[in-house]
C-alpha cells in the first residue's frame, strides 16, 4: 500500500505519467477512526468497484481529524492514532491512502473549491463512495448532492456508503467510544470486529516501575485523549509474535503528576527488554479507575493488589480472548 501525505504532493503526483492515479481511481473520504465494521464495509464497497473497473482503491483521511482541529482538547477521544489507522487500512487491502493535513488553508476551502481542487484535480476519481450525510468545505456547505453535480461535469459517479447495523443501531465511532468509556469491552469489540487494542513503540520512562519491583513497558499516546482510562487486565504481543499476559494502566498517572497520557504495561513472568519494539496491547477486563494515591508506598501496595487480582481473573478465564470472538452478523439496512 502506498501513502501520499499532503495536498501539494497529491496535486504534484496527479500531473505525472507514473502516477498510480493517472487512469483514475475508486475513492472514499472520511476520518475512519477505529476502522470498525462500518468502515470495513465501506472499504469493501470501494475495493469491489475498483476491481470491477481495474483501478486502484483509495482512502482519503485527515490529520489532525477535523474535530480535533476545531475543538482541541475538547475533541472526542481517539480510537486510533495515525500509524495504527494506516496499518488497519493496509490490512483491509486498500491500494493507496491519501492523508491531508487539516489546517487553516484546507479549512478555508469552499465546498466547490474542495470538490474541484481535492477531488477532481487531486484524486481524479472515476467513482466516489461517501455517506449521504458527508459534509466538507468551509462551514460544511459541501454535501453529497454537490459531489454528484460536480461528478456529472467531471465524469465520475458518486454512490452512498453501505451503512451497517448491530442490534438495530448503526455501527459508528461514537458508539464505540461510548462503549469504551463505560468499559463495555466486549460490546466495543463486536462493533470493531476485533478486541480493542493499542499498538505503539516502547519508550524509556522514569523507571519508577522497575524501582518498586514492577517494571513496565511504556507507550506514549501523544497529544490526543485515549478512549480508555484506568487499570486493565491485558494481553500483549511483541514483535516476535509472543503473547504475554499482564496488567496495564492507561491515563495521566496523577500520583506522579503526569501530564501526558501514557500506557504502562507490566508483563507477568517476563524479564526481557522491549525498548524500541512495537507492542500490541489488547484490553481484556477493567479492574479499577485511575486514582491519586497519597504516596509511592500506597501506589505500590495497590499495584501489587492489581497484579494479584489480574492473575486471579486470568486463572478463571484461561482463554479470555474467546469472549471477544465475533458472534453476530452485522446487517445492511434496505
**Domain range annotation of the chain:** 2-166, 195-324
pLDDT for the residue 334: 47
C-alpha cell read off for 60: 482519503
Report the C-alpha gap between 197 and 323 in whole angstroms.
15
CA angle 246, 248, 254 (to 5 degrees): 155
Dihedral of alpha carbons 254, 256, 260, 266, sign:
negative
C-alpha cell read off for 330: 452485522
Architecture per CATH, 195-324: Beta Barrel (2.40)
Query: How do strand 217-220 and strand 230-237 relate by DSSP bridges?
Result: unpaired
- How far is residue 143 from each of residues 103, 105, 248, measured CA to CA in Å? 20, 19, 43
CB 96 within 8 A of CB 46: no
Report the C-alpha gap between 96 and 98 in whole angstroms.
7
pTM over 0.95: no
Q: Which residues contact 317 (CB under 8 A, 6 or more apart)?
A: 284, 285, 323
Measuring CA to CA, which residue among 127, 235, 220, 155 is closest to residue 189?
235
Report the C-alpha gap between 324 and 331 in whole angstroms.
19
Identify the burial level of 173 via C-beta atoms within 10 angstroms of its C-beta, where 0-12 means exposed, 13-18 middle and 19 or more buried.
buried
Query: Which residues, in sequence order, are bridge partners of residue 222?
Result: none
First to last CA, the chain: 33
Measuring CA to CA, which residue among 74, 113, 95 is closest to residue 24?
95
pLDDT for the residue 90: 97
The pLDDT profile of the chain, 334 residues, written as one tens digit per residue, is 899 999 999 998 877 888 889 899 999 999 999 999 999 999 999 999 999 999 999 999 999 999 999 998 889 999 999 999 999 999 999 999 999 999 999 999 999 999 999 999 999 999 999 987 788 988 788 899 999 999 999 999 999 887 788 877 889 999 999 999 999 999 999 999 999 999 999 998 766 666 667 889 999 998 788 999 999 999 999 999 999 999 999 987 655 556 688 999 999 998 888 999 999 999 999 999 988 887 888 888 899 999 999 999 999 998 998 888 776 666 665 4
Equal CATH topology for 2-166 and 195-324: no
pLDDT for the residue 185: 97
Q: Which residues contact 50 (CB under 8 A, 6 or more apart)?
A: 25, 26, 56, 57, 95, 127
Burial code (b: 16+ CB inside 10 Å, e: under 16) for 109-144 equals bebeebbbbbbbebbbbbbbbbbeebebbeeeebbb
pLDDT for the residue 16: 84
What is the CATH topology of the domain spanning 2-166?
Rossmann fold (3.40.50)
Report the C-alpha gap between 234 and 329 in whole angstroms.
26
pLDDT for the residue 180: 97
Amino acid at each position: 500500500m502506498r501513502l501520499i501525505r499532503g495536498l501539494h504532493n497529491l496535486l504534484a503526483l496527479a500531473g505525472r505519467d507514473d502516477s498510480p492515479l493517472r487512469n483514475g481511481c475508486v475513492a472514499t473520504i472520511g476520518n475512519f477512526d477505529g476502522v470498525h465494521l462500518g468502515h470495513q464495509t465501506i472499504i469493501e464497497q470501494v475495493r469491489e468497484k475498483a476491481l470491477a473497473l481495474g483501478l486502484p482503491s483509495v482512502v482519503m483521511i485527515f490529520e489532525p481529524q477535523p474535530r480535533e482541529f476545531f475543538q482541541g482538547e475538547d475533541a472526542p477521544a481517539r480510537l486510533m492514532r495515525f500509524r495504527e489507522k494506516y496499518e488497519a487500512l493496509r490490512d483491509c487491502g486498500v491500494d493507496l491512502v491519501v492523508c491531508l493535513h487539516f489546517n487553516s488553508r484546507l479549512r478555508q476551502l469552499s465546498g466547490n473549491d474542495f470538490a474541484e481542487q481535492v477531488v477532481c484535480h487531486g484524486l481524479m476519481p472515476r467513482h466516489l463512495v461517501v455517506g449521504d450525510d458527508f459534509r466538507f468545505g468551509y462551514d460544511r456547505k459541501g454535501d453529497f448532492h454537490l459531489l454528484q453535480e460536480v461528478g456529472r461535469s467531471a465524469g465520475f459517479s458518486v454512490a452512498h456508503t453501505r451503512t451497517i447495523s448491530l442490534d438495530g443501531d448503526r455501527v459508528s465511532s461514537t458508539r464505540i467510544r461510548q462503549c469504551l468509556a463505560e468499559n463495555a469491552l466486549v460490546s466495543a469489540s463486536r462493533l470493531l470486529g476485533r478486541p480493542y487494542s493499542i499498538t505503539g513503540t516502547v519508550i524509556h520512562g522514569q523507571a519508577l516501575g522497575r524501582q518498586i519491583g514492577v517494571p513496565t513497558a511504556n507507550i506514549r499516546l501523544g497529544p490526543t485523549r485515549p478512549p480508555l482510562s484506568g487499570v486493565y487486565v491485558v494481553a500483549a504481543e511483541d514483535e516476535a509474535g509472543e503473547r504475554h499476559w499482564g496488567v496495564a494502566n492507561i491515563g495521566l498517572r496523577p500520583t506522579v503528576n503526569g501530564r501526558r497520557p501514557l500506557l504502562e504495561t507490566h508483563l507477568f513472568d517476563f524479564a526481557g527488554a522491549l525498548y524500541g519494539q512495537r507492542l500490541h496491547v489488547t484490553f481484556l477486563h477493567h479492574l479499577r479507575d485511575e486514582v491519586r494515591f497519597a504516596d509511592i508506598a500506597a501506589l505500590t501496595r495497590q499495584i501489587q493488589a492489581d497484579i494479584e487480582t489480574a492473575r486471579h481473573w486470568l486463572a478463571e478465564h484461561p482463554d479470555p480472548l474467546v469472549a471477544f470472538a465475533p458472534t453476530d452478523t452485522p446487517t445492511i439496512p434496505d
